[in-house]
Structure 1
């Protein structure tokens, strides 16, 4: 984010997506907002480290993309010296897009911090109420389902036909 340009992220978005207020700029900011909220929740759960601007990118429609998961689930560079103690990276540069007013009280900031019900959805997927036996059977079912899911092969075929990406 911003590493290949002397401008800030807000300026880069204007260069890439058009002036503030234009439909393409506003759509890119909305994509950044939604993907940043997802990034925040997933980072809270997975604890990726080594989060610097070379590992945080945005795509052609403005979505935040985190790359390089070499340090995850509490492992980090420097033998866990705890430099990255925040649950996720949220720089001033990122908040220029998430909260242009800078007061953390704007509508966009409220949208960022109140996206969906990630903990409720997580409970539904992980079933903490299950016994050990139920949890084991559940894991077996979801692994078998993932292995046999025809949609995975179908998606691989679509990627190959559209992008030339082989499985």
Structure 2
């Protein structure tokens, strides 16, 4: 998907990382330097209660650096939102979302995707994670109040979805090649591939896809079940 965005000349941003398999049960996973998880940022700076506070403290509100960090944040948020929706990436607590020095978010730990979820319960039912604190960095809020950066996020999500849709067969084929691998994400059987194909909505026109993406954003806005999953992780595992 990162290649697809780049080939199309889109500013949507992803940070792929390498995994070198060393046996059936072990691998070497590439370190992503100059990053920290949202959880560790909040742990390290107890006076910072939200991601917006961190951006203000690090980049100086209303400065050119602040605006650039916001732009980087939005471009990565859009890239990962489409990825999380299409591949149904779950377990998106703040220990699995990193922030780099330039303001990009980076998702890690893809142990739950396509058809499996933590505990076998699909608690994270929103299309992707779009909580209040993520919206606040885009100058919006839990209601999705329009702002320059939130509008930019919407445009990028639409462009990203339409572009990935043009390459649907390329993405589906890669997933199909692995369906007999025994990976837990294929526990849904043949429905795993069928549901992946459905999420591309190949029968819709591009105009209908615009409405579809806006509805995905709307149903992700500070979704109750997403908030509850974060709360569950905070209480059970101390993840802020």
TM-score in terms of structure 1 length: 0.68
Evaluate the alpha carbon distance shift between residue 100 and residue 121 of structure 1 in structure 2; reply closer, same or farther with a 3 A threshold: closer
Name 1:149's counterpart in structure 2.
Answer: none
CA contact (8 A) 1:3 1:54 kept: no
Q: Give the whole-Å Cα distance in 1 for the aligned partners of 2:42 and 2:113.
A: 23
Map of 1:110 onto structure 2: 151
For the pair shown, the structure with the greater C-alpha radius of gyration is 1
Q: How many residues align?
A: 128
| Equivalent residue for 1:56, pick from 81, 97, 119 | 97
What is the CA-CA distance between 1:74 and the residue it aligns to?
2.2
- Aligned-partner Cα distance in 2 for 1:89–1:24: 25
Q: How does 1:86-101 map to 2 (within 5 A)?
A: 86-100=126-140
Between the aligned partners of 1:30 and 1:121, the Cα distance in structure 2 is 20
Contact 1:3 1:53 in 2 (8 A): no
Q: Give the 3 Å change call, closer, same or farther, for CA 101–69 of structure 1 in structure 2.
A: closer
Which residue matches 1:159?
A: none
By how many angstroms is 1:3 displaced? 3.3
Counterpart in the other structure of 1:15: 57
TM-score by length of structure 2 reads 0.49
Unaligned 5+ residue runs, structure 2?
A: 1-37, 178-240
Runs of 4+ in structure 1 off by over 3 angstroms are: 100-103
Q: Which runs of 5+ in 1 are unaligned?
A: 129-134, 140-167
Root mean square deviation, CA, Å: 2.2
Q: 1: CA distance between counterparts of 2:105 and 2:168?
A: 26
2:108 aligned partner: 67
